C-alpha cells in the first residue's frame, strides 16, 4: 500500500472538518489524524529487540530502513496483542528532537477514514475510559459512538519507550 | 552563484589558515624549514588574492603587510623567533576573524574594533621589521644582497671566473655602441682578470670600414654577481651583440645545490627552472627557444629533422653546463610526480559519499538476497557467477568505505595550538608528542571525536600536568609531556591521551562520589572501578573550577559522546606518574564484516573483528551452575545469549541434546564466551541505525538487513560484557580479568 496522503504531518487544527484514520484496539474504536499517517502495512517478519519494554514489539524492514513497531494494545493497556489476519501496522511520523522519525504501531484492525467536524470533538473525560487518560487527545462523537483520538506524541514518547528492562528492574529494586 | 564562490572562498580560507597555523607551530620547532615558511606565505598570499577578487579590501589590507613580512623572512632578511611566530599566530587569528565577518555576511560593515585590532597587530609586526627593512633598502641593489648565490663564499681561484663571450655585430658601432664602455662598466661588478680580443674578422686595412665593428672579446671576470646582473650590463647591446656568459666552476656547484632547493610548488618548465636558479638568463632562454622553434618549423617541413630538446640546445649554445641541465631535468620530473600526486585529490561533497556508501550497503544486501536464491534453488551454473559478484561487491564495499577514511593526524595536530596556548596561559611548560597520526578512521567518526578529545586534552593540561615548580619539587623534569597516540586494534581505533602529570587522586574521587551518593561508604571498589567513577555526572575533584575545565560537566559528556559512537573510554592513572585515557572507537559506522549466530529463532551478528574463535561444545561441558569455562587451561567467563536476552524458545521438546557452540569474543583485554545455538558464518553487515528509541540500549549496537529481508541485530560486545559484569555478582560471573 502506498502513501495514503502525501504531505507533512503535523497539526491540522485550523480546518473545520478533518479526516481521521480509525482502527480498533482492545475492542475500542480509535483514530489519529490522517496527516500523521504515513502508510499502512501488513504485519510481516518482525525482529524482537531484547532487553526492551514489552510494548516494543520489534523492528521491521521498511524498504531497507529499520523501523520500530509499538504494540498499541500493550502500550495502552499492558496486554500483548495476538496477531490475527486483520492485524496491521500503521506507520506514523513522529517528531523526535527536531527530526521526524518513522515508527509503526500494531493495531488489531484498520477500519476506515472518517471526516469529523471539529465541533464534534470533545475533551476526554477525567476517568471512565479503559486506557490511561494521558494517551487521549480528544474524544470524537461519530453517530452514536465515541472515538478515541490518540495523542501520538504521548504514545510514542521516546522517554517512556527508551527505558530498558534493566532500568525497569533497577527502579523496582530501588522501590523494594 | 556568487554565494557558491563565496562559500568556496570561506572554505579555502579556513583550510589555508589551518595549514598556516600548523606550519607556524612547526616553525617554532624547526625555524629553518623553508616548507613551513612557504606554507605560511602561501596562505596569506592566496587569501589576499582571493579576497581581492571579491573586493574584501579589509582582508587585503591586512594580509598584504603580513605577506610582505613573510617575504622578508623567506629571503632571509628577517629571522624566525618565537615572538614572530606568536605575532603571526595572532595574524592568523585576526585573518580568521576577518574571514568570519564575510561568513556572517557582515562584510559591508566590518566592526571598527576589529580593524583597529588589525592595525595594532600590523604595527607590532612591521614595527619590528622596519629596522631590517631599511637595512635592506640601503643595500645597493647591484650587489644583490638578497641573492642566495651571493651567500656562498667564493674563492678567487683562476678557474673561478666568469667567462663572457662578446661577439659584436658589424653594425654595433653604427648603432652607437661602444664595446669599451661595456667592458669598463663590467669592472664595476668585479675584477676583469683577462681580456682576449679576437681580431680574426678584421679584413685587410684597405677593405676595412671604420664604422664596422670587427671585434670579438673573451673576458674572464672575477665577480660575486650572478648571471642576471652580468647580463644586465649588456642590456642595451643585446640587439647588436651575441653574448654568452659561462659561469665559473664553483657556480655550477651552486646551481646544483640550488636545484636541490627548487620548490616543489608547481611543475615548472625546464627553462623556467634554469632561469629561476640563475643558471640561464631570460635572454638566453628566449634565444634558445627561438632556435628550438625554428627547428620545429623545419621539422614540420622535413620529418627527418629531429627536434632537439631545449636542454640540449642550451648546452650546445654554451650557456649552461650539461650537469646542471641534467639535474634540472631530474628535478622537473620529481616535481611533476609530486604535483600529480597532489592533483589526485578531488573535493567531493560528503553527502555524495554518504549516498554512495548507502547504495553500496543496499548492493551488499541485494547481493546477499541473490546468493540466498541461488543456494535455495541450487542453480549450479549461477554459483560461480555469484561468487564472482560477491568478491566484487566486497571490493567495492571496501573501496567505498576507504573513500571516507581520513587520517587522525589532522585532528591531533589541531591540539598543537591548544597545548601551546593553554600552557602559556597557565605558565606551564608542556610538550605535545603525537604518534600514530597516520591511523585512519571514518570521517563521520572523526568529526564527532573532536569535542571529547578537546575536553580530555584540556583536562590533562589543566589538572594533569603540574606547574614547572611543582614538577621540579617532585623530581620530574620541568617540561611536562602530553602524548596523543592512535593505533588500530581488532577493527577499532584506539586513541590514547597520556600525560605525565599528577595523576588522579583515588581517595578524592571516592570521597566525592560518596558525597554525591554515587557509591555507598561500605562499597568495595577496585582501583579501576574507582577511576571509572570520573565518568559519572557531577564528579569533579578540582576544588576550583577554571575556565578550561573542572566544572564537573565534562567527563560524563565525554563518555556520552563516545558511547554514541559505539566506543568506550577507559582511564588509568597513578599518583604523580600520570594519567592515560584510552578510547576505543569503531573504524566505521557504515559496513563491517560480521559473524552471524543463531539463538533459537533469533539471529545476531557479532563484529567479526571481535570474534577470536568458535568452539563446538557438548551441553554437559558447560556447567549450568558455573559461568566460566576452561579454555585450554585459561579460565574464561561465558554467558548464554538465550538467557541473557530472554530469547523465547521456538522449539518444543527436550533441549538436553542440543548442540551448542561457544563463540569466543575479545574486547581489549577482556575475553568472554557467548553460548549460541547455531553458527551461520561470515556476513557483510550493513549497519542500520536503530534510531533514537534504542539509543540508550546496551548490548545491541544496530541492526542489519539480511538477504532474506529479515533483520538481524548487531551485538555490541563491549556492552554485553559490561552488562554481564554489572549483573555480575548474583547472576553471571563475568569479570574484567585484565
B716, A93 contact by CB (below 8 A): no
Same domain? B440 vs B525:
yes
pLDDT at A110 over 90: yes
- Looking at the complex, report in whole angstroms how far the Cα of residue A98 sits from the nearest Cα belonging to chain B: 12
Beta bridge partners of B241: B168
B694 and A162 within 8 Å at the Cβ level: the answer is yes
B672, B607 contact by CB (below 8 A): no
User: What is the pLDDT, as a whole number, of residue B115?
Assistant: 79
User: What is the pLDDT, as a whole number, of residue B631?
Assistant: 77
Range of the domain at B17: 2-138
**For strand B162-168 and strand B216-223, is the pairing parallel, antiparallel, or unpaired?**
antiparallel
Counting as low any pLDDT under 70, the low residues of chain B are 1-3, 106-107, 127-160, 249-269, 273, 276-279, 299-308, 317-319, 337-343, 490, 538-553, 618-626, 650-658, 728-738
In order of A20, B71, B75, B129, B232, the CA distances from B138 in angstroms are 89, 18, 16, 15, 21
Same domain? B125 vs B231:
no
**Burial per residue of B506-539, b for 16 or more beta-carbon CB atoms within 10 angstroms, e otherwise:** beebbebbeeeebbeeeeeeeeeebbbbbbbeeb
Classify B636 as helix, strand or coil: strand
Using the Cβ of B10 and the Cβ atoms of chain A, whether some distance falls under 8 Å is answered with: no
DSSP category for residue B77: S
User: What is the pLDDT, as a whole number, of residue B392?
Assistant: 92
Spatial CA neighbour of A136 closest among A128, B126, B153, A144: A128
User: What is the pLDDT, as a whole number, of residue B487?
Assistant: 87
Contact list, B599 vs chain A (CB under 8 Å): none
User: What is the pLDDT, as a whole number, of residue A103?
Assistant: 92
**What angle is formed at CA B677 by the lines to CA B675 and CA B680, rounded to 5 degrees?**
105
Q: Which of B689, B695, B709 sits opposite A45 (nearest CB)?
A: B709
Contact list, A96 vs chain B (CB under 8 Å): 692
- The CATH number for B49's domain is 1.20.120.160
Same domain? B569 vs B492:
yes
Query: In what order do the strands lie in the sheet containing B578-586?
Result: B430-435, B480-489, B492-499, B578-586, B568-574
Q: Is residue B18 part of a domain?
A: yes
User: Average pLDDT for residues A100-105, to the nearest whole number?
Assistant: 89
- Looking at the complex, report in whole angstroms how far the Cα of residue B673 sits from the nearest Cα belonging to chain A: 19
Contact list, B703 vs chain A (CB under 8 Å): 47, 59, 66
A50 and B646 within 8 Å at the Cβ level: the answer is yes
Same domain? B89 vs B172:
no
| Domain end position, chosen among B104, B138, B172 | B138
A66 and B703 within 8 Å at the Cβ level: the answer is yes
Domains in chain A: ranges and CATH: 17-175 (2.40.50.180)
User: What is the pLDDT, as a whole number, of residue A9?
Assistant: 46
pLDDT, tens digit, for every residue of B158-193? Answer: 456 777 777 777 777 777 777 777 777 777 777 777
Spatial CA neighbour of B219 closest among B235, B243, B237, B238: B243
- Alpha-carbon Rg for chain A, nearest whole angstrom, is 16
- Looking at the complex, report in whole angstroms how far the Cα of residue A48 sits from the nearest Cα belonging to chain B: 8
Same domain? B69 vs B128:
yes
Same domain? B70 vs B186:
no
User: What is the pLDDT, as a whole number, of residue B301?
Assistant: 67
pLDDT at A128 over 80: no
Same domain? B648 vs B609:
yes
Task: Give the residue on B whose Cα is nearest the Cα of A56.
Answer: B693
Spatial CA neighbour of B161 closest among B139, B189, B200, B185: B189
Same domain? B312 vs B256:
yes
Same domain? B397 vs B441:
no
Q: Is residue B143 part of a domain?
A: no
| Domain end position, chosen among B323, B341, B359 | B341
Q: Is residue B737 part of a domain?
A: no
Which of B358, B599, B693 to mutate to probe the A interface, most A CBs <10 Å? B693
Q: What total of structural domains would you count in chain B?
A: 5
Same domain? B130 vs B186:
no
pLDDT at A106 over 90: yes
Task: Give the residue on A whose Cα is nearest the Cα of B713.
Answer: A49
Question: Within 13 Å, how many C-alpha atoms sit on residue B734's CB side?
Answer: 22
| Domain end position, chosen among B529, B563, B586 | B586
Spatial CA neighbour of B489 closest among B521, B457, B441: B441
3-state helix, strand, coil in chain B (%, to 5): 50, 20, 30
Q: Is residue B735 part of a domain?
A: no
Dist CA A77 CA A131 (whole Å): 6
User: What is the pLDDT, as a whole number, of residue B351?
Assistant: 87
Same domain? B163 vs B80:
no
**Which residues of chain B from 587 to 606 reach within 8 Å of chain A, CB to CB?**
602
Contact list, B647 vs chain A (CB under 8 Å): 50
Q: Is residue B473 part of a domain?
A: yes
**For strand B190-198 and strand B216-223, is the pairing parallel, antiparallel, or unpaired?**
antiparallel
Using the Cβ of B674 and the Cβ atoms of chain A, whether some distance falls under 8 Å is answered with: no
Same domain? B28 vs B86:
yes
**Chain A residues interacting with chain B (CB cutoff of 8 angstroms):** 45, 47-52, 56, 59-61, 64-68, 96-97, 99, 101, 103, 158, 161-162, 164, 166
A68 and B690 within 8 Å at the Cβ level: the answer is yes
ipTM, two decimals: 0.80
User: What is the pLDDT, as a whole number, of residue B476?
Assistant: 86
User: What is the pLDDT, as a whole number, of residue B257?
Assistant: 64
Dist CA B426 CA B433 (whole Å): 19
B645 and A60 within 8 Å at the Cβ level: the answer is no
Amino acid at each position: 500500500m502506498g502513501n495514503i496522503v502525501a504531505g507533512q504531518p503535523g497539526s491540522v487544527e485550523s480546518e473545520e472538518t478533518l479526516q481521521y484514520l480509525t482502527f480498533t484496539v482492545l475492542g475500542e474504536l480509535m483514530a489519529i489524524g490522517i496527516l500523521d499517517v504515513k502508510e499502512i502495512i501488513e504485519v510481516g517478519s518482525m525482529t524482537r529487540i531484547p532487553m526492551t519494554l514489552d510494548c516494543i514489539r520489534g523492528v521491521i524492514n521498511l524498504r531497507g530502513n529499520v523501523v520500530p513497531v509499538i504494540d498499541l494494545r500493550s502500550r495502552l493497556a499492558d496486554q500483548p496483542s495476538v496477531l490475527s489476519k486483520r492485524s496491521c501496522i500503521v506507520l506514523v511520523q513522529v517528531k523526535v528532537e527536531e527530526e521526524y522519525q518513522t515508527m509503526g504501531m500494531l493495531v488489531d484492525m484498520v477500519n476506515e477514514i472518517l471526516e469529523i467536524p471539529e465541533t464534534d470533538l470533545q475533551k476526554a473525560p477525567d476517568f471512565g475510559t479503559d486506557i490511561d487518560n494521558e494517551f487521549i487527545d480528544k474524544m470524537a462523537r461519530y453517530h452514536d459512538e465515541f472515538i478515541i483520538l490518540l495523542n501520538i506524541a504521548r504514545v510514542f514518547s521516546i522517554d517512556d519507550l527508551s527505558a530498558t528492562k534493566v532500568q525497569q528492574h533497577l527502579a523496582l529494586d530501588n522501590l523494594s | 552563484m556568487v554565494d557558491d564562490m563565496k562559500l568556496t572562498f570561506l572554505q579555502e580560507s579556513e583550510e589555508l589558515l589551518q595549514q598556516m597555523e600548523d606550519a607556524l607551530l612547526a616553525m617554532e620547532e624547526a625555524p629553518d624549514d623553508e616548507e613551513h615558511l612557504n606554507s605560511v606565505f602561501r596562505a596569506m598570499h592566496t587569501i589576499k588574492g582571493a579576497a581581492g577578487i571579491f573586493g574584501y579590501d579589509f582582508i587585503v589590507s591586512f594580509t598584504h603587510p603580513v605577506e610582505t613580512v613573510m617575504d622578508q623572512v623567506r629571503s632571509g632578511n628577517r629571522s624566525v623567533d618565537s615572538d614572530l611566530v606568536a605575532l603571526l599566530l595572532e595574524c592568523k587569528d585576526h585573518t580568521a576573524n576577518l574571514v568570519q565577518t564575510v561568513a556572517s555576511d557582515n562584510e559591508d560593515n566590518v566592526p571598527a574594533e576589529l580593524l583597529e585590532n588589525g592595525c595594532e597587530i600590523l604595527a607590532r609586526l612591521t614595527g619590528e621589521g622596519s629596522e631590517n627593512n631599511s637595512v635592506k633598502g640601503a643595500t645597493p641593489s647591484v650587489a644583490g644582497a638578497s641573492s642566495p648565490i651571493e651567500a656562498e663564499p667564493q674563492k678567487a681561484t683562476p678557474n673561478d671566473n666568469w667567462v663572457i663571450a662578446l661577439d659584436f655585430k658589424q653594425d654595433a658601432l653604427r648603432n652607437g655602441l661602444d664595446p669599451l664602455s661595456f667592458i669598463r662598466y663590467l669592472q664595476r661588478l668585479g675584477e676583469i682578470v683577462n681580456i682576449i680580443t679576437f681580431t680574426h674578422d678584421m679584413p685587410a686595412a684597405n677593405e676595412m670600414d671604420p664604422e664596422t665593428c670587427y671585434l670579438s672579446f673573451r673576458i674572464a671576470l672575477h665577480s660575486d654577481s650572478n648571471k642576471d646582473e652580468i647580463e644586465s650590463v649588456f642590456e642595451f647591446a643585446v640587439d647588436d651583440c651575441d653574448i654568452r656568459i659561462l659561469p665559473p666552476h664553483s657556480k655550477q656547484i651552486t646551481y646544483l645545490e640550488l636545484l636541490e632547493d627548487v620548490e616543489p610548488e608547481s611543475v615548472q618548465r625546464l627553462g623556467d627552472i634554469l632561469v629561476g636558479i640563475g643558471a640561464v638568463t631570460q635572454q638566453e632562454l628566449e634565444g634558445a627557444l627561438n632556435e628550438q622553434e625554428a627547428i620545429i618549423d623545419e621539422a614540420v617541413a622535413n620529418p627527418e629533422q629531429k627536434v632537439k630538446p631545449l636542454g640540449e640546445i642550451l648546452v650546445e649554445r654554451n650557456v649552461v653546463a650539461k650537469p646542471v641541465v641534467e639535474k634540472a631535468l631530474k628535478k622537473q620530473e620529481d616535481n611533476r610526480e609530486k604535483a600529480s600526486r597532489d592533483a589526485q585529490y578531488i573535493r567531493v561533497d560528503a553527502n555524495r559519499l554518504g549516498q554512495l556508501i548507502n547504495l553500496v550497503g543496499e548492493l551488499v544486501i541485494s547481493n546477499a538476497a541473490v546468493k540466498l536464491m541461488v543456494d535455495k534453488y541450487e542453480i549450479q551454473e549461477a554459483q560461480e557467477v555469484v561468487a564472482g559478484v560477491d568478491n566484487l561487491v566486497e571490493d567495492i564495499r571496501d573501496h567505498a568505505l576507504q573513500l571516507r577514511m581520513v587520517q587522525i593526524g589532522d585532528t591531533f595536530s589541531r591540539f598543537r595550538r591548544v597545548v601551546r596556548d593553554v600552557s602559556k596561559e597557565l605558565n606551564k611548560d608542556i610538550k605535545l608528542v603525537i604518534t600514530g597520526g597516520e591511523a585512519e578512521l571514518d570521517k563521520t567518526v572523526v568529526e564527532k571525536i573532536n569535542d571529547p578529545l578537546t575536553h580530555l586534552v584540556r583536562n590533562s593540561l589543566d589538572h594533569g600536568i603540574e606547574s614547572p615548580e611543582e614538577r621540579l619539587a617532585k623530581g620530574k623534569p620541568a617540561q611536562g609531556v602530553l602524548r596523543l597516540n592512535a593505533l588500530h586494534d581488532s577493527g577499532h581505533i584506539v586513541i590514547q591521551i597520556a600525560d605525565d602529570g599528577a595523576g588522579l587522586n583515588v581517595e578524592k574521587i571516592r570521597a566525592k562520589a560518596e558525597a554525591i551518593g554515587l557509591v555507598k561508604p561500605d562499597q568495595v571498589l577496585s582501583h579501576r572501578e574507582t577511576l571509572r567513577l570520573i565518568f559519572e555526572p557531577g564528579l569533579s575533584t578540582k576544588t576550583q573550577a577554571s575556565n578550561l575545565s573542572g566544572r564537573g560537566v565534562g567527563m560524563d559528556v565525554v563518555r556520552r559522546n563516545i558511547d554514541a559512537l559505539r566506543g568506550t573510554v577507559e582511564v588509568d592513572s597513578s599518583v604523580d606518574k600520570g594519567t592515560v585515557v584510552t578510547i576505543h572507537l569503531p573504524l566505521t559506522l557504515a559496513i563491517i564484516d560480521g559473524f552471524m549466530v543463531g539463538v533459537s529463532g533469533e539471529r545476531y551478528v557479532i563484529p567479526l573483528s571481535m570474534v577470536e574463535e568458535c568452539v563446538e561444545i557438548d551441553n554437559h561441558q558447560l556447567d549450568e551452575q558455573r559461568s566460566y569455562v576452561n579454555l585450554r587451561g585459561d579460565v574464561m567467563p561465558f554467558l548464554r545469549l538465550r538467557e541473557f536476552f530472554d530469547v523465547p524458545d521456538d522449539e518444543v521438546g527436550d533441549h538436553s541434546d542440543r548442540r551448542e557452540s561457544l563463540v569466543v569474543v575479545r574486547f581489549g583485554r577482556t575475553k568472554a564466551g557467548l553460548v549460541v545455538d547455531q553458527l551461520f558464518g561470515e556476513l557483510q553487515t550493513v549497519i542500520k541505525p536503530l534510531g533514537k528509541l534504542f539509543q540508550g540500549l546496551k548490548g545491541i549496537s544496530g541492526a542489519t538487513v539480511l538477504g532474506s529481508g529479515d533483520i538481524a541485530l548487531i551485538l555490541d560486545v563491549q556492552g554485553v560484557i559490561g552488562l554481564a559484569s554489572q549483573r555480575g555478582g548474583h547472576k553471571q560471573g563475568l569479570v574484567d580479568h585484565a
